[in-house]
Structure 1
């Protein structure tokens, strides 16, 4: 994978989110893919389970949102991106995410992990 391929995959992910149904998931995820919605959350595994999660998490393909992406790093089959998403107009919800994606040779994602942060979340000092 390279930065352009990772950015292309993320664009396909966004397009799938904006498309009715979940059939497009098969073009971006492997059949046995894992999708972790947070670093401490159990992964959702397999296309049928990902499709159920996908449909339960979004308002529908007409959901209003703006998404900006910066691919941070690519190393072999792994890509990392910073993704900023604002939902609504005016924005009622906002997220700054890190996405860690592992890909197969055909460009589909076999492992997806997001680290979502909302503006109201606070970090604490570790010391």
Structure 2
């Protein structure tokens, strides 16, 4: 599997979990000892169980958002994707820093998200 295939599979799994809020799908994305930074300078959620718990505490309703993305850079150690998340009344620009392990689970994830200005 190429690095791009691994990242594409992982992001697709993330979007599925985002829309299902299924704890098994969420947990399957992350290594047991993963770190998830919900914002670049916040303390990370550490460990799969904590990531699932925090994700579900902040979950969106299934189908509430659409997410489009493209790779910025893809490497064996670090991949960066740029995305756009559209909610009914808000739009966010996203940068995701993703570090996958050899089995395709994320060992470190950092979200950078910025709300776009309201459109006239």
Instruction: Tell whether 2:91 aligns with 1:94.
Output: yes
The structure with the largest helix share of the pair is 2
For normalisation by structure 1, the TM-score amounts to 0.84
Shift of 1:48: 1.4
Q: 1:20 to 1:99 in 2, by over 3 A?
A: closer
Matched ranges for 1:31-50 at <5 A = 31-50=32-51
For normalisation by structure 2, the TM-score amounts to 0.89
Structure 2: distance between partners of 1:8 and 1:20: 18
Structure 1: distance between partners of 2:90 and 2:59: 13
Larger radius of gyration: 1
1:45-95 deviation line (CA, Å, top 9, x unaligned): 0111111111111133x241110011110121311000110112xxx1211
The residue number in structure 1 matching 2:57 is 56
Task: Flag structure 1 segments of 5+ consecutive residues without an equivalent.
Answer: 121-127
Task: Flag structure 2 segments of 5+ consecutive residues without an equivalent.
Answer: none
Shift of 1:37: 1.1
Instruction: Tell whether 2:68 aligns with 1:68.
Output: yes
The residue number in structure 2 matching 1:125 is none
- Aligned CA-pair RMSD: 1.4
Structure 1: distance between partners of 2:53 and 2:97: 21
